[in-house]
Protein backbone atom coordinates (compact mmCIF):
# COMPACT_ATOMS: atom_id res chain seq x y z
CA UNK A 1 0.00 0.00 0.00
CA UNK A 2 2.95 2.21 0.59
CA UNK A 3 4.49 1.12 -2.68
CA UNK A 4 1.87 0.99 -5.38
CA UNK A 5 3.82 -0.87 -8.02
CA UNK A 6 5.02 -3.90 -6.22
CA UNK A 7 7.18 -6.34 -8.07
CA UNK A 8 7.61 -8.58 -5.07
CA UNK A 9 3.94 -9.31 -4.70
CA UNK A 10 3.43 -13.05 -4.94
CA UNK A 11 0.79 -12.63 -7.61
CA UNK A 12 3.23 -10.73 -9.73
CA UNK A 13 5.82 -13.48 -9.55
CA UNK A 14 3.83 -16.06 -11.38
CA UNK A 15 4.29 -14.94 -14.93
CA UNK A 16 2.32 -17.53 -16.89
CA UNK A 17 4.34 -19.15 -19.62
CA UNK A 18 1.36 -20.06 -21.78
CA UNK A 19 0.96 -16.73 -23.42
CA UNK A 20 4.54 -15.68 -23.90
CA UNK A 21 4.00 -13.63 -27.07
CA UNK A 22 1.43 -11.58 -25.29
CA UNK A 23 3.88 -10.77 -22.55
CA UNK A 24 6.47 -9.57 -24.99
CA UNK A 25 3.98 -7.28 -26.54
CA UNK A 26 3.13 -5.98 -23.13
CA UNK A 27 6.77 -5.34 -22.43
CA UNK A 28 7.14 -3.21 -25.47
CA UNK A 29 4.24 -0.98 -24.67
CA UNK A 30 5.08 -0.76 -21.02
CA UNK A 31 8.59 0.66 -21.15
CA UNK A 32 7.08 4.07 -20.70
CA UNK A 33 4.64 2.81 -18.11
CA UNK A 34 7.48 1.14 -16.24
CA UNK A 35 9.46 4.34 -16.08
CA UNK A 36 6.37 6.09 -14.88
CA UNK A 37 5.78 3.48 -12.20
CA UNK A 38 9.38 3.76 -11.08
CA UNK A 39 9.09 7.52 -10.85
CA UNK A 40 5.89 7.31 -8.87
CA UNK A 41 7.59 4.87 -6.55
CA UNK A 42 10.47 7.27 -6.19
CA UNK A 43 7.97 10.00 -5.37
CA UNK A 44 6.89 7.97 -2.36
CA UNK A 45 10.39 7.98 -0.95
CA UNK A 46 10.78 11.69 -0.31
CA UNK A 47 14.53 11.79 0.43
CA UNK A 48 15.22 9.66 -2.63
CA UNK A 49 13.08 11.93 -4.76
CA UNK A 50 14.82 15.05 -3.49
CA UNK A 51 18.15 13.41 -4.29
CA UNK A 52 16.93 12.56 -7.78
CA UNK A 53 15.77 16.12 -8.44
CA UNK A 54 19.07 17.58 -7.24
CA UNK A 55 21.04 15.21 -9.45
CA UNK A 56 18.96 16.08 -12.50
CA UNK A 57 19.50 19.77 -11.74
CA UNK A 58 23.25 19.22 -11.35
CA UNK A 59 23.52 17.35 -14.62
CA UNK A 60 21.64 20.11 -16.42
CA UNK A 61 23.85 22.68 -14.71
CA UNK A 62 26.98 20.86 -15.84
CA UNK A 63 25.78 20.54 -19.43
CA UNK A 64 24.64 24.12 -19.82
CA UNK A 65 27.31 25.67 -17.61
CA UNK A 66 28.51 28.32 -20.09
CA UNK A 67 24.93 29.45 -20.68
CA UNK A 68 23.95 29.66 -17.04
CA UNK A 69 27.09 31.04 -15.45
CA UNK A 70 26.95 34.83 -15.15
CA UNK A 71 30.73 35.27 -15.57
CA UNK A 72 33.74 33.50 -16.98
CA UNK A 73 34.95 31.40 -14.01
CA UNK A 74 38.57 32.35 -14.67
CA UNK A 75 37.96 36.05 -15.12
CA UNK A 76 39.89 37.95 -12.47
CA UNK A 77 39.11 41.39 -11.18
CA UNK A 78 41.42 42.83 -8.59
CA UNK A 79 38.98 45.54 -7.70
CA UNK A 80 36.25 43.07 -6.84
CA UNK A 81 38.29 40.83 -4.54
CA UNK A 82 36.77 38.97 -1.58
CA UNK A 83 33.24 40.31 -1.93
CA UNK A 84 31.01 38.36 0.45
CA UNK A 85 27.74 36.68 -0.64
CA UNK A 86 24.72 38.90 -1.20
CA UNK A 87 23.16 38.31 2.20
CA UNK A 88 26.26 39.63 3.95
CA UNK A 89 26.73 43.29 4.72
CA UNK A 90 29.01 44.17 1.81
CA UNK A 91 27.46 41.70 -0.61
CA UNK A 92 26.11 42.76 -3.99
CA UNK A 93 23.67 41.23 -6.43
CA UNK A 94 26.36 41.33 -9.07
CA UNK A 95 28.13 38.46 -7.32
CA UNK A 96 25.41 36.48 -5.61
CA UNK A 97 27.80 34.09 -3.86
CA UNK A 98 30.60 36.61 -3.60
CA UNK A 99 34.08 36.55 -5.15
CA UNK A 100 37.37 34.90 -4.25
CA UNK A 101 40.82 36.29 -3.54
CA UNK A 102 41.36 37.01 -7.24
CA UNK A 103 37.96 38.58 -7.72
CA UNK A 104 36.51 35.59 -9.59
CA UNK A 105 32.77 35.05 -9.32
CA UNK A 106 32.12 32.10 -7.01
CA UNK A 107 28.72 31.20 -8.43
CA UNK A 108 30.24 30.86 -11.89
CA UNK A 109 33.05 28.74 -10.52
CA UNK A 110 30.59 26.47 -8.72
CA UNK A 111 28.56 26.03 -11.90
CA UNK A 112 31.63 25.23 -13.97
CA UNK A 113 33.11 23.09 -11.23
CA UNK A 114 30.12 20.74 -11.42
CA UNK A 115 31.35 19.74 -14.88
CA UNK A 116 34.59 18.35 -13.51
CA UNK A 117 32.84 16.38 -10.79
CA UNK A 118 30.39 14.89 -13.28
CA UNK A 119 32.98 14.10 -15.96
CA UNK A 120 35.41 12.50 -13.52
CA UNK A 121 32.61 10.59 -11.80
CA UNK A 122 31.10 9.22 -15.00
CA UNK A 123 34.47 8.40 -16.55
CA UNK A 124 35.77 6.57 -13.51
CA UNK A 125 32.57 4.60 -12.97
CA UNK A 126 32.54 3.62 -16.65
CA UNK A 127 36.21 2.64 -16.72
CA UNK A 128 36.38 0.87 -13.38
CA UNK A 129 32.93 -0.67 -13.84
CA UNK A 130 33.69 -1.86 -17.34
CA UNK A 131 36.98 -3.44 -16.40
CA UNK A 132 35.77 -4.83 -13.09
CA UNK A 133 32.61 -6.36 -14.53
CA UNK A 134 34.59 -7.94 -17.35
CA UNK A 135 37.05 -9.48 -14.89
CA UNK A 136 34.21 -10.67 -12.69
CA UNK A 137 32.39 -12.24 -15.64
CA UNK A 138 35.53 -14.01 -16.80
CA UNK A 139 36.23 -15.32 -13.31
CA UNK A 140 32.63 -16.43 -12.80
CA UNK A 141 32.20 -18.06 -16.21
CA UNK A 142 35.41 -19.98 -16.52
CA UNK A 143 35.84 -20.80 -12.86
CA UNK A 144 38.67 -23.08 -11.81
CA UNK A 145 42.18 -21.77 -12.18
CA UNK A 146 41.26 -18.63 -14.06
CA UNK A 147 38.83 -17.73 -11.31
CA UNK A 148 41.38 -18.47 -8.61
CA UNK A 149 44.05 -16.42 -10.37
CA UNK A 150 41.81 -13.42 -10.94
CA UNK A 151 40.42 -13.42 -7.45
CA UNK A 152 43.85 -13.80 -5.90
CA UNK A 153 44.96 -10.85 -7.98
CA UNK A 154 41.94 -8.85 -6.78
CA UNK A 155 42.68 -9.79 -3.17
CA UNK A 156 46.25 -8.63 -3.55
CA UNK A 157 45.33 -5.33 -5.15
CA UNK A 158 42.72 -4.66 -2.50
CA UNK A 159 45.37 -5.13 0.17
CA UNK A 160 47.49 -2.40 -1.43
CA UNK A 161 47.64 0.97 0.28
CA UNK A 162 45.69 2.34 -2.66
CA UNK A 163 45.65 6.04 -1.98
CA UNK A 164 49.38 6.18 -1.33
CA UNK A 165 50.10 4.35 -4.56
CA UNK A 166 47.81 6.81 -6.28
CA UNK A 167 49.92 9.61 -4.85
CA UNK A 168 53.07 8.00 -6.23
CA UNK A 169 51.54 7.70 -9.68
CA UNK A 170 50.29 11.28 -9.56
CA UNK A 171 53.69 12.48 -8.44
CA UNK A 172 55.44 10.67 -11.27
CA UNK A 173 53.09 11.32 -14.15
CA UNK A 174 51.98 14.72 -12.99
CA UNK A 175 48.48 15.69 -12.01
CA UNK A 176 45.79 16.28 -14.62
CA UNK A 177 42.19 15.27 -15.10
CA UNK A 178 43.19 12.20 -17.11
CA UNK A 179 45.63 11.04 -14.46
CA UNK A 180 43.01 11.52 -11.78
CA UNK A 181 40.54 9.43 -13.74
CA UNK A 182 43.05 6.65 -14.38
CA UNK A 183 44.28 6.57 -10.81
CA UNK A 184 40.78 6.46 -9.34
CA UNK A 185 39.70 3.78 -11.81
CA UNK A 186 42.74 1.65 -10.94
CA UNK A 187 41.74 2.01 -7.32
CA UNK A 188 38.09 1.12 -7.72
CA UNK A 189 37.55 -1.70 -10.21
CA UNK A 190 37.97 -4.51 -7.68
CA UNK A 191 34.58 -4.01 -6.03
CA UNK A 192 32.81 -4.51 -9.35
CA UNK A 193 34.81 -7.63 -10.09
CA UNK A 194 33.97 -9.18 -6.74
CA UNK A 195 30.30 -8.36 -6.96
CA UNK A 196 29.93 -9.55 -10.57
CA UNK A 197 31.69 -12.81 -9.82
CA UNK A 198 29.47 -13.37 -6.80
CA UNK A 199 26.33 -12.84 -8.86
CA UNK A 200 27.51 -15.11 -11.67
CA UNK A 201 28.34 -17.87 -9.20
CA UNK A 202 25.01 -17.59 -7.42
CA UNK A 203 23.11 -17.65 -10.70
CA UNK A 204 25.06 -20.70 -11.80
CA UNK A 205 23.95 -22.45 -8.65
CA UNK A 206 20.28 -21.93 -9.41
CA UNK A 207 18.70 -25.31 -10.11
CA UNK A 208 17.56 -24.62 -13.67
CA UNK A 209 20.91 -23.23 -14.74
CA UNK A 210 22.69 -26.13 -13.13
CA UNK A 211 20.34 -28.52 -14.87
CA UNK A 212 20.88 -26.83 -18.21
CA UNK A 213 24.63 -27.01 -17.77
CA UNK A 214 24.48 -30.65 -16.82
CA UNK A 215 22.50 -31.55 -19.90
CA UNK A 216 25.23 -29.78 -21.78
CA UNK A 217 22.93 -27.10 -23.02
CA UNK A 218 24.30 -23.85 -24.24
CA UNK A 219 25.16 -22.75 -20.77
CA UNK A 220 26.49 -19.36 -21.79
CA UNK A 221 23.17 -18.59 -23.28
CA UNK A 222 21.22 -19.83 -20.28
CA UNK A 223 23.47 -18.11 -17.81
CA UNK A 224 23.43 -14.86 -19.68
CA UNK A 225 19.68 -14.82 -19.87
CA UNK A 226 19.49 -15.16 -16.12
CA UNK A 227 22.53 -13.20 -15.15
CA UNK A 228 21.68 -9.95 -16.84
CA UNK A 229 18.47 -9.28 -14.95
CA UNK A 230 20.12 -10.39 -11.72
CA UNK A 231 23.09 -8.14 -12.26
CA UNK A 232 21.42 -4.92 -13.24
CA UNK A 233 20.11 -3.50 -10.01
CA UNK A 234 22.94 -4.40 -7.62
CA UNK A 235 25.56 -3.15 -10.05
CA UNK A 236 23.62 0.02 -10.76
CA UNK A 237 23.35 0.68 -7.05
CA UNK A 238 27.04 0.00 -6.61
CA UNK A 239 27.84 2.31 -9.51
CA UNK A 240 25.82 5.13 -8.00
CA UNK A 241 27.50 4.66 -4.62
CA UNK A 242 30.93 4.58 -6.26
CA UNK A 243 30.04 7.75 -8.11
CA UNK A 244 29.52 9.48 -4.77
CA UNK A 245 32.81 8.15 -3.49
CA UNK A 246 34.63 9.37 -6.57
CA UNK A 247 33.21 12.87 -6.40
CA UNK A 248 34.64 13.00 -2.88
CA UNK A 249 37.97 11.50 -3.96
CA UNK A 250 38.40 13.90 -6.86
CA UNK A 251 37.69 16.81 -4.53
CA UNK A 252 40.23 15.50 -2.02
CA UNK A 253 42.94 15.04 -4.65
CA UNK A 254 42.29 18.48 -6.09
CA UNK A 255 42.39 19.89 -2.59
CA UNK A 256 45.82 18.35 -2.08
CA UNK A 257 46.99 19.92 -5.32
CA UNK A 258 47.28 16.53 -7.00
CA UNK A 259 44.07 16.66 -9.00
CA UNK A 260 42.64 19.25 -11.31
CA UNK A 261 45.13 22.04 -11.97
CA UNK A 262 44.35 25.71 -12.48
CA UNK A 263 43.16 27.41 -14.63
CA UNK A 264 40.53 24.65 -14.69
CA UNK A 265 38.01 24.81 -11.87
CA UNK A 266 37.12 22.15 -9.40
CA UNK A 267 35.26 22.39 -6.14
CA UNK A 268 38.11 20.74 -4.26
CA UNK A 269 40.57 23.16 -5.78
CA UNK A 270 38.44 26.11 -4.74
CA UNK A 271 38.35 24.89 -1.15
CA UNK A 272 42.15 24.61 -1.23
CA UNK A 273 42.42 28.15 -2.57
CA UNK A 274 40.13 29.43 0.11
CA UNK A 275 41.84 27.78 3.03
CA UNK A 276 44.44 30.56 3.28
CA UNK A 277 41.62 33.06 3.74
CA UNK A 278 39.87 31.12 6.48
CA UNK A 279 40.14 34.03 8.88
CA UNK A 280 38.88 36.77 6.59
CA UNK A 281 36.53 35.14 4.08
CA UNK A 282 34.64 32.11 5.34
CA UNK A 283 32.62 31.76 2.13
CA UNK A 284 35.61 30.81 0.03
CA UNK A 285 35.84 27.47 1.79
CA UNK A 286 32.24 27.02 2.81
CA UNK A 287 30.43 27.47 -0.49
CA UNK A 288 32.36 25.02 -2.70
CA UNK A 289 32.38 22.57 0.21
CA UNK A 290 28.61 22.83 0.42
CA UNK A 291 28.40 22.15 -3.31
CA UNK A 292 30.36 18.92 -2.86
CA UNK A 293 28.35 17.89 0.19
CA UNK A 294 24.98 18.54 -1.47
CA UNK A 295 25.99 16.64 -4.59
CA UNK A 296 27.23 13.63 -2.66
CA UNK A 297 24.25 13.70 -0.32
CA UNK A 298 21.87 13.69 -3.30
CA UNK A 299 23.65 10.72 -4.83
CA UNK A 300 23.66 8.88 -1.54
CA UNK A 301 19.95 9.47 -1.02
CA UNK A 302 19.19 8.11 -4.47
CA UNK A 303 21.48 5.12 -3.97
CA UNK A 304 19.86 4.40 -0.65
CA UNK A 305 16.46 4.35 -2.30
CA UNK A 306 17.71 2.15 -5.12
CA UNK A 307 19.24 -0.31 -2.69
CA UNK A 308 16.09 -0.69 -0.66
CA UNK A 309 13.80 -0.84 -3.67
CA UNK A 310 15.75 -3.45 -5.59
CA UNK A 311 15.99 -5.79 -2.62
CA UNK A 312 12.69 -7.40 -1.58
CA UNK A 313 14.13 -8.46 1.75
CA UNK A 314 15.25 -4.93 2.42
CA UNK A 315 11.77 -3.65 1.56
CA UNK A 316 10.14 -6.11 3.91
CA UNK A 317 12.51 -5.03 6.66
CA UNK A 318 11.76 -1.44 5.97
CA UNK A 319 8.06 -2.07 6.21
CA UNK A 320 8.47 -3.98 9.47
CA UNK A 321 10.45 -1.04 10.77
CA UNK A 322 7.72 1.43 9.97
CA UNK A 323 5.11 -0.83 11.56
CA UNK A 324 7.24 -1.14 14.65
CA UNK A 325 7.59 2.60 14.86
CA UNK A 326 3.86 3.13 14.41
CA UNK A 327 3.08 0.54 17.04
CA UNK A 328 5.49 2.08 19.48
CA UNK A 329 3.99 5.48 18.97
CA UNK A 330 0.55 4.15 19.80
CA UNK A 331 1.98 2.17 22.67
CA UNK A 332 -1.52 1.20 23.70
CA UNK A 333 -2.24 -1.23 26.43
CA UNK A 334 -1.07 -4.09 24.28
CA UNK A 335 0.96 -6.41 26.44
CA UNK A 336 2.85 -8.15 23.65
CA UNK A 337 4.87 -5.08 22.87
CA UNK A 338 5.86 -4.43 26.41
CA UNK A 339 6.95 -8.01 26.66
CA UNK A 340 9.10 -7.41 23.65
CA UNK A 341 11.00 -4.66 25.36
Which chain residues interact with another protein by CB under 8 A? Answer: 1-3, 6, 9, 155-157, 159-165, 167-173, 244, 248, 251-252, 255-258, 268, 271, 275, 278-279, 282, 285-286, 289, 292-294, 296-297, 300-301, 304, 315-317, 319-328, 333-341
What CA–CA distance (Å, rounded) separates 256 from 132? 28
Nearer to another protein, 81 or 307 (CB): 307
Nearer to another protein, 12 or 130 (CB): 12
Nearer to another protein, 200 or 248 (CB): 248
Nearer to another protein, 72 or 155 (CB): 155
Q: How far is CA 203 from CA 97, 136, 219, 235, 238, in A?
A: 52, 13, 11, 15, 19
**Backbone φ and ψ of 99, nearest 5°:** -130, 165
CB of 138: closest distance to another protein in angstroms? 20
CB of 122: closest distance to another protein in angstroms? 19
Nearer to another protein, 56 or 340 (CB): 340
Q: Answer whether 295's CB lies under 8 Å from 240's CB.
A: no
CB of 134: closest distance to another protein in angstroms? 21
CB of 127: closest distance to another protein in angstroms? 18
Q: Which residues pair with 105 in a beta bridge?
A: 99
Rg (CA), the chain: 25
**Backbone φ and ψ of 235, nearest 5°:** -70, -35
CB of 119: closest distance to another protein in angstroms? 18
Nearer to another protein, 29 or 333 (CB): 333
Nearer to another protein, 167 or 236 (CB): 167
Q: How many CB atoms lie within 10 A of CB 150?
A: 18
Nearer to another protein, 141 or 250 (CB): 250
What CA–CA distance (Å, rounded) separates 65 from 63? 6
CB of 172: closest distance to another protein in angstroms? 3
CB of 251: closest distance to another protein in angstroms? 5
CB of 111: closest distance to another protein in angstroms? 19
Nearer to another protein, 23 or 169 (CB): 169
CB of 1: closest distance to another protein in angstroms? 8
Amino acid sequence: MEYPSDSTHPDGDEAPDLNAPQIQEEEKTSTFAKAKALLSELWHDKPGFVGFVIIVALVLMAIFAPLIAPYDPAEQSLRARLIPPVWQERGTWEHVLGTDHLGRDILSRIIHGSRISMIVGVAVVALAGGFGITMGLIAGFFGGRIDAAIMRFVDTIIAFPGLLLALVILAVIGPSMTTVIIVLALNGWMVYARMTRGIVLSVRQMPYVEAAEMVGGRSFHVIFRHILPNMMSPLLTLGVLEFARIVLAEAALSFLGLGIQPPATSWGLDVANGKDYLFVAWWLVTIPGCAIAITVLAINLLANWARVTSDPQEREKRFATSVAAMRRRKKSSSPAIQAAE
